[in-house]
Copies of this chain bind each other. A is one copy, B any other.
Amino acid sequence: MNLVKSALLLAKKDLFSEWKTKQVLVTQIIFASLVIVVFSFAFDPSNNMTKAVIPGIIWVIIVFAGILGLNRSIVSEQRNDTMYALLVAPMEPAGIYLGKFIANFTMIMIVETIAIPFLFLLFDFNMAGSIPYFILIIFVGSFGFVSIGTFLAALAGNSKSSEMLLPLLLFPIASPVLIGVTQATRIVLSDMSKLSSALAWTQMVTSYDVIFFVISLFLIDYVLEV
């Protein structure tokens, strides 16, 4: 299919240029670590209560580090108006969305595989739950977050100060996903007896993901119109 082909081409271009510079990825990872450190002195981690916020922190760092990458993926197309070049090319807007989504999703997965173990280490966290479920939930949550985020980044990109607008749009819309996965993460990390409830949350998030992904594919045409 042409759509997928051009999307892959675009994703390849983005990932290749990231591969050459590694700039965004490294920044995201360091940023995630720094957020962990900032939280550590804002909220005393030796306090036992803070152990309970680890699921929250996981998602906070994914969100904050993710926003950096999401914004960049669109802003990088604005220098020299290259976004126009994509728009006048025989490529559907949905292809642009898909391409950006693939690139962003790949990057955030890499960030997570590095930042989360680091977090566990620093907060001296002992895994009491199930790792496969945990990975599943991270995957589902990131998928939702990135698909919503890519769409909204394209929307915010129309503004001169998109890096400011993006969080404002993203937080409210992504909050169902984030609340859901935080709950699910909390359960699979500590209390496997409530697994069924975690699965229900995951299901809820998954359907939200799918709905949003499909809606985005349709609505992106209107967002990317000049």
A164 to B30, CA, bound (A): 10
A2-52 at interface with B (beta carbon < 8 Å) = 23-24, 27-28, 30-31, 34, 37-39, 41-43, 47, 49, 52
A179 pairs with B41, CB closer than 8 A: yes
Knowing A38-B171, A178-B41, the reply to whether A72 touches B164 (Cβ < 8 A) is: yes
Does A71 belong to the interface (CB within 8 Å)? yes
Knowing A38-B63, A182-B41, the reply to whether A161 touches B57 (Cβ < 8 A) is: no
Tell me the number of copies of this protein. 2
Does A59 belong to the interface (CB within 8 Å)? yes
- Selected from B79, B167, B182, the residue in CB contact (under 8 A) with A42 is B182
Does A109 belong to the interface (CB within 8 Å)? no
Does A53 belong to the interface (CB within 8 Å)? yes
B27 pairs with A42, CB closer than 8 A: no
A168 to B34, CA, bound (A): 7
A24 to B63, CA, bound (A): 21
Does A223 belong to the interface (CB within 8 Å)? no
Knowing A178-B41, A182-B42, the reply to whether A168 touches B30 (Cβ < 8 A) is: yes
A144-166 at interface with B (beta carbon < 8 Å) = 160-161, 163-165
Q: How far is the CB of A188 from chain B (nearest CB, A)?
A: 16
A34 pairs with B171, CB closer than 8 A: yes
Does A68 belong to the interface (CB within 8 Å)? yes
18 contacts between A and B (CB under 8 A): A27-B164, A28-B164, A34-B168, A34-B172, A37-B171, A37-B175, A38-B63, A41-B175, A41-B182, A42-B53, A42-B55, A42-B59, A42-B60, A42-B178, A43-B53, A68-B163, A71-B163, A163-B163
Known: A42-B60, A43-B56. 10 other contacts (CB 8 A): A27-B165, A31-B167, A34-B168, A34-B172, A38-B171, A41-B179, A42-B53, A42-B56, A68-B163, A71-B163
The 10 closest A-B CB pairs, nearest first, are: A42-B56, A27-B164, A34-B171, A163-B163, A43-B56, A68-B164, A41-B179, A43-B53, A42-B60, A30-B168
